[in-house]
Structure 1
């Protein structure tokens, strides 16, 4: 069995005159990433590896999860192919993961993540919001066969805000 955790980066700021890759998180983004990562930590899911887009907003979201879930830095890798908005590069990356990994978390972008969640999972999601998380389980032994799975968990910040 393979499990894929997709986390869309948290809400970013357009306030600064920086490149797309350098856009930081807004305070609401930080708060939402903290909220979802704390809620997710209570699920008891052990992650074998974590991959993040090099974009600052995705990497910062990943760092917030790392801190709340006590992931060692050695588990996290920045991957240029995850700076993808269509999804083809992300799917190719997933299908080439090492079969020694059973549960993997990927931090990245929309529209790619909504498309992938709907293509690979069995529950339709209209839009994966910022800081949203989807976990999809595949009954396969190799990532190359991870095409259609069961959506096991969906977490949106709005569902956990007070």
Structure 2
């Protein structure tokens, strides 16, 4: 079985005069990345590999997650092709992973993330929010055989914020 942990980058800021690729996180983005990563129970699952778009907002989100989850940063590979909004490059990046890798954590962008989870997961999600996490399991031995899997878990910042406020 293979597992994929998909993470949409945290909320970015539009206040800076920079290209889309260079946009940083805003304050809520930092808060959500810490909230989600500190509450993300991967049930002992440590990713063997982390794939990350090379945009500033995905790199920053990945850095917060790896730090809070005590994941060795040497597992992170930055892939410019994951600066992808349609999903074709995302699927190719996954299918081309080494088969010795059992679990991948991938940091990317929408519409690619939502499209992927609705194509390959078994639960329809209208929109994976910023800093949303979706875990999908696949009954495959080779990544190139990627097909419909089972959505195992979703963790969205709004759900964590509402549980904090209801205490």
TM-score class, shorter-chain normalisation, is: over 0.9
Could you tell me which residue of structure 1 aligns to residue 78 of structure 2?
78
Once residues 149 and 41 of structure 1 are traced to their aligned partners in structure 2, the CA distance between those partners, rounded to angstroms, is 20
1:122 aligns with 2:148: no
Q: CA-atom RMSD, angstroms?
A: 0.9
How many Å apart are 1:35 and its aligned residue? 0.8
Once residues 64 and 57 of structure 1 are traced to their aligned partners in structure 2, the CA distance between those partners, rounded to angstroms, is 11
Question: TM-score with structure 1 length normalisation?
Answer: 0.98
Could you tell me which residue of structure 2 aligns to residue 91 of structure 1?
91
Could you tell me which residue of structure 2 aligns to residue 108 of structure 1?
108
Once residues 12 and 41 of structure 2 are traced to their aligned partners in structure 1, the CA distance between those partners, rounded to angstroms, is 23
The ranges of structure 1 where at least 4 consecutive aligned residues each deviate by more than 4 angstroms after the TM superposition are none
Once residues 85 and 150 of structure 1 are traced to their aligned partners in structure 2, the CA distance between those partners, rounded to angstroms, is 23
5+ residue gaps, structure 2:
none
- SS at the partner of 2:13? coil
Once residues 160 and 48 of structure 2 are traced to their aligned partners in structure 1, the CA distance between those partners, rounded to angstroms, is 26
Question: TM-score with structure 2 length normalisation?
Answer: 0.95
Once residues 73 and 135 of structure 1 are traced to their aligned partners in structure 2, the CA distance between those partners, rounded to angstroms, is 20
Could you tell me which residue of structure 2 aligns to residue 20 of structure 1?
20
